[in-house]
């Protein structure tokens, strides 16, 4: 019985750690670094927040593709070959979106740590 408890604890710990470890092939940048990258016209900038959040406050140059529609819209609206920089409110949804984009075949994906909460 005690063995089962250890297995359960190990699995819970594994899933918690896995959630926060960066995914291979996804670059993470700060909002300070974003300020220099945003001038790069060869990159695609995507905000995965809801349309209401985006309308309330957004960064010029970012395209709003809400996370729940990203899978369908990414292939049609974004280039697989160009780097995609992803932002959300706190960095959690953009991390999820970054993983999704990698699985869809995007070669270069960058997540903005801290999201709009960290943007000044």
Give SS3 for 83: coil
Per-residue pLDDT 10s for the chain (120 aa) are 687 888 888 888 777 766 666 567 799 999 999 999 999 999 999 999 999 999 999 999 999 999 999 988 888 999 999 999 999 999 999 999 999 999 999 999 999 999 999 997
Residue 51: CB partners within 8 Å, gap ≥ 6?
64, 66
In terms of DSSP H, where are the helices of the chain? 2-20, 31-37, 51-56, 70-77, 92-103, 115-118
Q: What does DSSP assign to residue 67? A: G
Q: What does DSSP assign to residue 45? A: E
Domains and CATH numbers, the chain: 24-118 (3.40.250.10)
Instruction: Please identify which residue in the block is written with the tokens 């819970």.
Output: 12
């Amino acid at each position: 019985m005690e063995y089962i408890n250890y297995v359960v604890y190990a699995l819970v710990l594994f899933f918690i750690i896995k959630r926060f470890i960066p995914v291979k092939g996804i670059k993470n940048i700060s909002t300070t670094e974003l300020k220099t990258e945003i001038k790069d016209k060869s990159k695609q900038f995507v905000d995965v927040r809801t349309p209401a959040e985006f309308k309330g406050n957004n960064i010029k140059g970012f395209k709003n593709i809400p996370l729940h529609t990203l899978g369908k819209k990414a292939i049609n609206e974004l280039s697989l070959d160009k780097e995609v920089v992803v932002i959300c409110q706190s960095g959690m949804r953009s991390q999820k979106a970054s993983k999704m984009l990698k699985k869809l075949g995007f070669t270069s994906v960058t997540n903005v740590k801290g999201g709009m909460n960290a943007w000044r």
